[in-house]
Amino acid sequence: MSSALSASQIREAFLKFFEERGHRRVASSSLVPQNDPSLLFTNAGMVQFKDVFTGREKREYSRATTSQKCVRAGGKHNDLDNVGYTARHHTFFEMLGNFSFGDYFKPDAIAYGWEFVTKTLGLDKARLAVTVFNGEGGIPWDEEAFELWAKQGVSRDRILKLGLKDNFWAMGDTGPCGPCSEIHYHQGDDIPCAEVTAGRQCKGVACDCDRWLEIWNLVFMQFERKEKDAPLIPLPKPSIDTGAGLERIASVVQGKRSNYDTDLFQSILSRVSELVGKPYSQEGGASMRVVADHSRAAAFLIADGVQPSNEGRGYVLRRIMRRAIRHGSLLGLDELFFFKVVDRVIELMGEAYPELRDGRTFILEVCKHEEESFRRTLNRGMKLIDEEVARMKQSGAKVLSGEKVWELHGTYGFPWDLTEIILKERGFEADIAGYEKLKKEEAEKGTDEGGISKDKAIATVHLKLLERLGPTEFLGYEGVGHEGEGSVRAIINKGGVELTEAQEGDEVELVLDRTPFYGESGGQVGDTGRIVGHGGKAVAQVLDAQRPVQGLIVHQVKVTQGTLKVGDMVQAGVDGQRRSSIRANHSATHLLHKALKMVLGEHVKQAGSVVAPDYLRFDFSHFSPMTPEQQEQVEDLVNGWIRENAESQTRVMNLEDAKKSGAVAMFGEKYGETVRVVTVHPQSTELCGGTHVRRSGDIGLFKVTGESGVASGVRRIIAVTGLGAIQYMRETERELKKAAELLKTSPKDLVKRVESTQKRVKELEHKIEEMAVKAQAGSSKDLLEQARDINGMKVLATRMDPADPNVFRGLADQLRDRMKSGVVVIGGEKDGKVVLLVAATKDVVARGIHAGNLLKEMAKEVNGRGGGKPDLAQGGGEDPSRIPNAFDKFYELVKGTNLS
């Protein structure tokens, strides 16, 4: 099979085949579905065309072909635990597809499919079978498709009729859907089948086993479901959505029985095996397959802007990465390895998906960080399990409760299956059923998947409005863009109910047909201002403007005078000064983005932004804090471009051209067919729907006011521009002046003054200490008179409050000098604590006195600890009331010492 097509060749052959048949080759969309809260990840080729099928969105072509990145993990299609153990399950896969938006229908779709499979790929017709919809749930059986297949030459006994479960396709609970028809490939009856093992017959094409493999799904898009469980509504025009998993096609074409044996995975598996130091084999290779599969998902998800976290998409990514890392550990990989495998994925697929290459540094950093933190978690989890095991041993329990397993999983990110394995090794069990129950409850609460579906209900009323009224025309791009006339098209109250009018005092949402108000999006906050009707008799204050669904601008207003009705002509006026500040901050954000790329590197990608009137906030991928020099460089670049006062340009062009022109597009943004390309300065060109300055000089001044970390690998810059920057500098200057005044100097000499003041303070502190020692020294003579004579040496215990170790030391030195031969303890109290210091002259040390040992015993008397050298020791304790007892002990011990 060495001459078989490689996966890349199959991908290219497919796209070319359909291009030659009038299809537009469209790039894969992001794995993060845009403006679609109903979906966790892009899970099929049609996702990016969802609105085109339903007629909500128009494109300039009616046929398209793609190779789409897909992830099925988490949410509806959750196969994560199977991945690695079967020949077919993947978290990430590529789906080849051809699409018709109201253009051709069943006859062409079927003819194209058959031609590609049998001619281009040259698959043996004798091994092929197809299925059609048998009619169920009130939808008639697909006789047309049946006859069309027969016309292609498929023998009638190879055309099977199957029901809703197999031959009706829907993206999710809502969206376009329709009956489908599949092409299956016969791999061989020697493949194990669970039915046969259980003593029954294999169900052939309809069976779950791999003897017959589905390789292509042709969906005849005919309906739309607008809400969960709602009746099906016919689509404006019947359409086609087909999907063929590249991994499966490759395995069939290359004559392999497992996707993992295709060239798509071989190179990744050999990297894993190289790291492990053992060859890969089909049997016992599950862990290697897990690592190989998951490294693809991680590379692509991170490239599309997902980062491991504890909620939503980030949580699913984290689970995938941690599962891979754990399997790496099982393979004996103790050091960071995952990024090395991911790097192989980038090498392998970077050509077909350039976002992998562009994001390489960042992707690898994210992988390293996640592995480091997970390895710490593993260690912590092991400790917790050890504690639980100890507890169970004591109580005689054999099973760890579901709650504990859940706690380990939920709180510490410790995977349940690992908990189970470790417990087994120690002779215990885990209540996995109990854990599953808790997990289900949490999932129902919506916390496990991060509550992706919550926004759905809120958006419905706006979606309906958008459908009925069409998009709001935004007047803010042209001219000054602060004023405009429009008519009231809808009024909605807080509960989402439509009204015909709003009166003084009402707080409602207003939708106009055209408006100069910018609805919050792309980080830029919504405008505020006034909407006035009836020649000034009706007035509404606009508190905010939102864009709850793409295309619809909604004004949050409070009517302060008169009554506004649906149909009224109104004057809409944006707070101009506020808008100007927003413009400056938005344009500055673009310049900042570019400057960061230049100073820190191309790995810098926008990870979120806020453009407000009084500040801008920019989050971006980067791993270490910026140095003050880097911050200055960025400021200098941006201010340089501002001073050049370049005229900004906005061009409206189609998305492909825009990308070709090198404009920076963000992840997580949905772009229509035509996009706005904003050039604030020749250095910076971005796709952007926001409002911008006319000339870069309008920004005035750019000043960074803060730089910090927000998440692992994400930094945040806060900055101000124009008047805001001047205000910021002025405030800083005012504080500086105040400080200078307090220190009786000028701001220019402030640092010098602070330094000299600090020096002076230190000198004074030192002097005070010296004086205290001297004062004590004066009394050291008297003190010596109190010393006892024991075995020819002077022995003295003396108290001094408040205690100060420095002073004690000074005094001890003097006492030692004066008494020539002896041992002394000084004790005292400070802040409720005991301080003790013992000092001995050299000769008594030579005779057997040991200050450290003496101190140790005395410290016990005051409930404390201490020790030290034979000639000097220091310590303390908790009980000052027992200082006299410590002194008694001292005399007693010295007396009892055997001296030489």
Q: How far is the CB of 68 from ligand SER (least distance, A)?
A: 9
The SS3 call for residue 7 is: helix
The residue (of 175 and 722) whose beta carbon lies closer to ligand SER is 175
Q: How far is the CB of 169 from ligand SER (least distance, A)?
A: 5
CB of 69 to ligand SER, least distance (A): 13
Comparison of 179 and 876: residue with beta carbon closer to ligand SER: 179
Helices 246-253, 263-276: axis angle to 10 degrees equals: 90
Output the DSSP codes for 742-761: HTTS-GGGHHHHHHHHHHHH
Number of residues that this document lists for the chain = 900
Min dist CB 45 to ligand SER, Å, is 5
Q: How many CB atoms lie within 10 A of CB 199?
A: 6
CB of 435 to ligand SER, least distance (A): 32
Please identify, using beta-carbon distances, which residue of 243 and 308 lies nearer to ligand SER.
243
The b/e string for 52-68 (b: 16+ C-beta within 10 A; e otherwise) is bbbbbbebeebbbbbbb
Among residues 17, 28, 38, 45, the one that binds ligand SER under rule CB under 6 A = 45
Out of 142, 166, 241, 568, which residue is the one contacting ligand SER (CB under 6 A)?
241
CB of 240 to ligand SER, least distance (A): 9
* Residue 488, amino acid: V
Give the range of 126-134, 240-248, 545-553, 619-627 binding ligand SER by CB under 6 A.
240-248
CA 559 to CA 557: how far, in whole Å?
Answer: 6
DSSP class of residue 474 equals E
Decide whether 67 or 242 has the Cβ nearer to ligand SER.
Answer: 242
Residue tagged 């009231």 (tokens):
488
838's tokens: 């013992």
Q: Which is nearer to ligand SER, 54 or 776 (CB)?
A: 54
H or E stretch covering 386? helix 360-395
Residue 369, annotated as binding a ligand: no
Binding residues for ligand SER restricted to 191-220, rule: CB under 6 A: 217, 219
Alpha helices by DSSP H, listed for 705-861, are: 722-742, 750-786, 805-819, 842-847, 851-861
CB of 170 to ligand SER, least distance (A): 9
Number of residues located near ligand SER, criterion CB under 6 A: 10
Question: In Å, what is the CA distance from 599 to each residue of 258, 361, 618, 640, 709?
Answer: 47, 15, 15, 14, 18
Tell me: is residue 177 an annotated ligand-binding position. no
Please, what is the minimum distance in Å from the beta carbon of residue 374 to ligand SER? 32
Interacting span for ligand SER (CB under 6 A) from 235-243, 475-483, 583-591, 700-708: 235-243
Provide, rounded to whole angstroms, the least separation between the CB of residue 596 and ligand SER: 39
- DSSP label of 869: -
Positive or negative: CA dihedral 385, 388, 393, 394: positive
If the CB atoms of residues 32 and 46 are measured against ligand SER, the closer one turns out to be 46
268/263 Cα distance (integer angstroms) = 9
For ligand SER, the closer of residues 239 and 581 by Cβ is: 239
CB of 604 to ligand SER, least distance (A): 35
Instruction: Kindly give the pairing relationship between strand 159-162 and strand 128-133.
Output: parallel
Query: For residue 635, what is the DSSP state?
Result: H
CB nearer ligand SER, residue 224 or residue 388: 224
Three-state DSSP at 856 gives: helix
Beta strands in 378-519 (DSSP E): 399-400, 429-430, 473-474, 483-492, 498-499, 501-503, 507-512, 514-515
Q: Which distant-in-sequence residues (6+ apart) come within 8 Å of 855 by Cβ?
A: 825, 836, 837, 838, 866, 867, 868, 873, 874, 875
Interaxial angle between packed helices 360-395 and 402-412, expressed in degrees from 0 to 180 and rounded to the nearest 10: 150
CB of 73 to ligand SER, least distance (A): 15
Asked if residue 67 binds ligand SER (CB under 6 A), the reply is no
Amino acid (1-letter code) at residue 532: V
**CB crowding 251-260: b at 16 or more within 10 Å, else e:** bbbbebbbbb
Asked if 242 is part of the footprint of ligand SER (rule: CB under 6 A), the reply reads yes
Only segment of 78-86, 237-245, 580-588, 837-845 that touches ligand SER (CB under 6 A) = 237-245
Residue with tokens 């016992």: 284
Token pair for residue 541?
Answer: 């204050």
Residue (219 or 549) nearer to ligand SER, CB: 219
Does 46 sit near ligand SER (CB under 6 A)? yes
Contacts of 863 (CB under 8 A, 6+ apart): 877, 878, 879, 882
The one among 75, 84, 97, 868 contacting ligand SER by CB under 6 A: 97
User: Which residue's CB is nearer to ligand SER, number 185 or number 374?
Assistant: 185
The answer to whether the beta carbons of residues 243 and 95 sit under 8 Å apart is yes
**Which token pair is 206?**
């309809």
Residue 688 assigned as binding residue: yes
Q: Contact region for ligand SER (CB under 6 A) — 236-244, 590-598, 631-639, 696-704?
A: 236-244
Residue whose C-alpha is closest to residue 542's, from 565, 518, 523, 563: 518
The stretch near ligand SER (CB under 6 A) out of 193-201, 241-249, 766-774, 843-851 is 241-249
Q: Which is nearer to ligand SER, 75 or 690 (CB)?
A: 75
- CB of 348: closest distance to ligand SER in angstroms? 24
For ligand SER, the binding residues in 5-44 under the rule CB under 6 A are 44
C-beta nearest to ligand SER: residue = 243
Query: For residues 45 and 852, which CB has a smaller minimum distance to ligand SER in the complex?
Result: 45
Detail the residues annotated as belonging to a binding site for Zn(2+): 586, 590, 688, 692
**Residues found near ligand SER in the complex (CB under 6 A):** 44-46, 97, 169, 217, 219, 241-243
- State the binding site: 586, 590, 688, 692
